[in-house]
Amino acid sequence: KSKRTKAYTAAEDKLLCECWRDIGQDPKTGAEQKHSTFWIRVHREFHERKKFLPYQFVSTRGWVSISKR
């Protein structure tokens, strides 16, 4: 039986989708990047953009977890 962590919050999901979209539409790299490079960039962007207060939003998710969404 798999032990899954809590689901993403609505705010996390929205931010993750925005990062996924923006990294995927980057005119410099776009579809020419490796799968792992893409998700590393999404992870980095996700953590750079999150502006939620610590008591409202804490995410320690790694890029592997994010890439499985």
Is pLDDT larger for residue 61 or for residue 49? 49
21 domain-assigned: yes
Average pLDDT value over all residues in the chain: 79
4 domain-assigned: no
44 domain-assigned: yes
51 domain-assigned: yes
Burial class from Cβ neighbours inside 10 Å (0-12, 13-18, 19+) for residue 51 reads exposed
Rounded to an integer, what distance in angstroms lies between the CA atom of residue 5 and that of residue 63?
A: 15
35 domain-assigned: yes
pLDDT tens column, 4-35: 666 778 888 899 999 999 998 888 876 677 88
58 domain-assigned: yes
45 domain-assigned: yes
In this prediction the pTM is 0.63
| Mean pLDDT of the region 41-63 | 74
pLDDT at 68 over 90: no
How many domains are there within the chain?
A: 1
Domain of 48?
A: 16-67
